[in-house]
Amino acid sequence: MSSIDKLLEVMASLRDPKNGCPWDLEQDFSTIAPYTIEEAYEVADAIAREDFEGLRDELGDLLLQVVFHAQMAREAGYFDFDDVAGTISDKMLRRHPHVFGSDEQREAGPEDGSWERIKAEERAAHPDDSVLAGVAKALPALKRAQKLGKRANTVGFDWPDRKGVQEKIREELDELETAVGTRSADSIEEEFGDLLFAIVNLARHLGVDPEKALRSANYKFEARFRDMERSIAGTGKSLADFSLESLDKEWRAAKQRVG
C-alpha cells in the first residue's frame, strides 16, 4: 500500500460513522477551513526558518487537510481525492504546453504571458466571466489586493508606471488626514484601506510581494525588539524604566547588533 493510500484509509476510518473519531465526525468544510489556512501558514513559516525537518511535518499536516476535505466531499457525493489529483494534473498539463504540448509547442518553448493567457481562457469558460473571477475572498487581504490589481492590469486598467501609484498614495494620505479630522471611525477605516490598497499596487509595480515584504519586516522588528529586551534586562531594569528617548537609543543600538 502506498503512503497516500494509507493516509486516505486512515482518514476514511476517522470519519467512519460507527467506529470513527467523534471529533472528526463532527467536522464539516467550514470548521476545517481555518485549520487548512493555519497549516498553510505553518508551511510558509518552516520555509522562512529553513527548518526542513519541520517542513516535512508541516507539509504532511497540510496534506491531511486536503485529504480531510476530499473525504467529506466523497461522503457528500461531490468528488473524491482522485478527482482532486486528476483535476490539478490536467490543469498543469494544460498550462504547460511548452513541456507537455505538441512537438511544435515544446520546440517553441515558454511564451511570455502564456500562463496568464491560458488562465484567462479557463476563466472565460466559467459562469462568472469577470476578469476578477476566482480571486478567493478568503485570501489574506494584502495577497488579494495584489491579485486584484494584477488581474485589472491584464485589461489595461492600471497606472502606466510607479509614479502614478506614488501620486495615488499621496492622494490617499491626504484623504486619510481629512478623515482623521472628522473623527469618523468608518471614514478613517475606509481611507486607511484605500491607502493600503494603493501601497500594495506600488509593491506590484516594483515587483515586490507585499505579503513577503511585510512578513520580513515583522521578523526584523521582532529580532531587534527581542535583542533590545535582552540588552535592557542585562542592566537589571525593564523597558518600563526607560524613557522613550532612552528606548530609541537602545533600539538604534539593537539595529546595529541585529541588522
Q: Mean pLDDT check: name the lowest of 59-73, 131-145, 244-258.
A: 131-145
Q: Per the structure block, which three cell numbers stand in for 181?
A: 479630522
Cα of 228 vs its chain's centroid, Å = 30
> Are 204 and 149 in contact, with CB atoms under 8 Å apart?
yes
Query: What is the spatial distance between Cα 225 and Cα 251, in angstroms, rounded to a whole number?
Result: 7
Grid look-up 546595529 returns 256
Q: Mean pLDDT check: name the lowest of 6-20, 77-91, 99-113, 202-216.
A: 99-113
What average pLDDT does the segment 198-209 reach?
A: 96
Whether the pLDDT of residue 125 is over 80: the answer is no
> Are 73 and 79 in contact, with CB atoms under 8 Å apart?
yes
**CA-based end-to-end distance of the chain:** 50
Nearest CA to 12 out of 87, 67, 50 is that of 67
Band of residue 126 on the pLDDT scale cut at 50, 70, 90: confident
Query: What is the spatial distance between Cα 153 and Cα 204, in angstroms, rounded to a whole number?
Result: 10
Whether the pLDDT of residue 28 is over 90: the answer is yes
Question: Regarding predicted confidence, which is higher, 5 or 106?
Answer: 5
Q: Within 13 Å of residue 27, how many CA atoms lie on the same side as its CB?
A: 23
Nearest CA to 226 out of 202, 197, 257 is that of 257
**Prediction pTM value:** 0.64
